[in-house]
Amino acid sequence: MIDQREPSDLEPAERPIQRLLATIPPAALPLGFRDDVMRRVSARTTLAWEWIAAAVLAVPSLAFLIFQLVDRGDEVGTAINNIVAAAASDSSDAFFFVDGSVVLSLVILGIASLIAAHAAVVAPSHRTPLR
Amino acid sequence: MKQRDAILVLSAVVLATFVSAILLAASVTNASGAAGRRPGIFFDPRNPPPPARTIGDVQRSVPEALAPIVPLQRGLTDTARDAAGYLLILLGTSAALVLAHEQVVSTYRASLGGWRAQLRVLATGLAVIGVGASAAALAWIVFLGSLSSVRGGPLGVPAALQVAIGAFSVALVIAGIAAVVGFAAAAWRLGDALFTVAWLRRFAGVPAPLIALLGATLIYIAWQIPFAGGVAVLAVLAYALGAVVTARLVGSAHAVTSQ
């Protein structure tokens, strides 16, 4: 059964094409056709580079931050104690300093995490149940 | 993997190698055994941090292979420390574009239009800020006024105050998330507006995330202008919140008309 009804929002130039396509009788697609097309359209391999790039960027920054925490953990503890003490005192002045390499590594780690998050978020939408 | 993907991975490897060299130099120069090193993180209400060593001193104390990198490492890390706020804005905008992509796109669409639409979004945002500030102030007034009845209750005043501060913080976080989504959309719109300039139109094929980051950069630069920066930030915040509210209203209107 061919549906001869035309959509109401067609432009005049689109009507002949609509009529032509409407005359084609519907046919069942071969088994697995849809999955094959979707596999090509979704191009899952494009996500692989995101995971690789995320890992490559994250590893040095993560290693640096862990090393800093191991090597200079006492400084972090002292700074936190001073912050808590300053919050409870009426001091109107404070001095703060952070090593720029820590900032740099945190930014690189954040970017790497975002790339990984993008790969993780995009991946499930490409998976379709088998038909 | 396509050629483009391979190039991107190669770029990431080159960047990671460069960053690794910088971080290695930073680790060696500031290792726990190094003499006269500065703390990695320092906060003190009374004493300033110890002064930094000169680059020459540092170069003499590190292995020869790392000595040429030291000036670059010092310059880059000092720049990164100074630009922490800017990097945070870029990271927040990118996070909104990745993690709340649909919300950013719907907010962006809601803010499309001529100057009348832009003005309406801005006015909506200012109204939202006004309502939020008034409601928050009144809520605190009502709450603090009712503390006298809490005094004899089971919780007591300190616990009631802590609960109120906690609830207020949650409300601020929710408003902050909406503001970040709106900020990303506003930055995107600003980047779009920049590419309507005649001599920039040839670069109109730039990907949308880069346009949004460019817009965020412009907003950050505007923020740094004395006096006008505060007004610019308020206008951006109002526009961001206005765009989010407009998107919600447009979405609700579509839902009602489709029923």
Question: Which residues, 6 or more positions from A87, have their beta carbon under 8 angstroms from its beta carbon?
Answer: none
Per-residue tokens: B153: 């209750």
- How far B214 CA lies from chain A's nearest CA (Å)? 16
Would you call A120 an interface residue with chain B, using a CB distance cutoff of 8 Å?
no
For residues B15 and A111, what is the distance between their CA atoms, to the nearest angstrom? Answer: 12
Is the same domain home to B138 and B196?
Answer: yes
Total domains in the fold of chain B: 2
B194-212 pLDDT, tens digit each: 888 877 777 777 888 889 9
Mean pLDDT (whole number) for A47-64: 89
Per-residue tokens: A80: 């936190």
Is the same domain home to B9 and B96?
Answer: no
Cβ atoms within 10 Å, residue B165: 10
Mutation test of the interface with chain B: which of A104, A108, A122, choosing the one with the most B Cβ atoms within 10 A? A104
Q: What is the pLDDT of residue A131?
A: 44
Range of the domain at B40: 3-82
Total domains in the fold of chain A: 1
Is the same domain home to B110 and B25?
Answer: no
More confident residue, B154 or A12: A12
For residues B105 and B244, what is the distance between their CA atoms, to the nearest angstrom? Answer: 10
Q: What does the DSSP assignment read for B118-149?
A: HHHHHHHHHHHHHHHHHHHHHHHHHHHHTHHH
Is the same domain home to B72 and B117?
Answer: no
| Rg of chain A, C-alpha, whole Å | 29
Is the same domain home to B78 and B96?
Answer: no
For residues B226 and B221, what is the distance between their CA atoms, to the nearest angstrom? Answer: 11
Is the same domain home to B57 and B104?
Answer: no
Say if residues B184 and B96 touch (Cβ distance below 8 Å). Answer: yes
Pick A57's closest partner by Cβ from B12, B80, B99: B12
pLDDT less than 70: residues of chain B:
1, 32-36, 150-155, 251-259
Q: What is the pLDDT of residue B36?
A: 67
Is the same domain home to B160 and B69?
Answer: no
Question: Which residues, 6 or more positions from B83, have their beta carbon under 8 angstroms from its beta carbon?
Answer: none
Is the same domain home to B74 and B132?
Answer: no
Q: Do A121 and B31 touch (CB under 8 A)?
A: no
Which chain A residues are Cβ-neighbours of B16 within 8 angstroms? 56-57, 59-60
Range of the domain at A56: 12-126
Q: Could you tell me what percent of chain A has a pLDDT over 90?
A: 18
- Residue A36 placed within a domain: yes
- Across A1-15, A31-45, B209-223, the highest mean pLDDT is recorded for B209-223
Question: Which residues, 6 or more positions from A111, have their beta carbon under 8 angstroms from its beta carbon?
Answer: A57, B91, B94
Question: Which of these, A68, A79, A72, A51, lies nearest to A104 by C-alpha position?
Answer: A68
Say if residues A94 and B45 touch (Cβ distance below 8 Å). Answer: yes
B27-72 pLDDT, tens digit each: 888 775 666 677 888 888 888 888 888 888 888 877 888 888 888 8
Mean pLDDT (whole number) for A121-129: 57
- Residue A79 placed within a domain: yes
Q: What is the pLDDT of residue B88?
A: 93
For residues A29 and A34, what is the distance between their CA atoms, to the nearest angstrom? Answer: 8
Residue in chain B closest to A99 (alpha carbons) equals: B40
- Residue A6 placed within a domain: no
Q: What is the pLDDT of residue B254?
A: 61
Per-residue tokens: B97: 């574009």
Q: What is the pLDDT of residue A126?
A: 47
| Rg of chain B, C-alpha, whole Å | 25
Cβ atoms within 10 Å, residue B208: 14
Q: What is the pLDDT of residue B136?
A: 93
- Residue A22 placed within a domain: yes
Q: What is the pLDDT of residue B87?
A: 92
Any idea which residue has 């060299």 for tokens?
B21
Is the same domain home to B105 and B71?
Answer: no
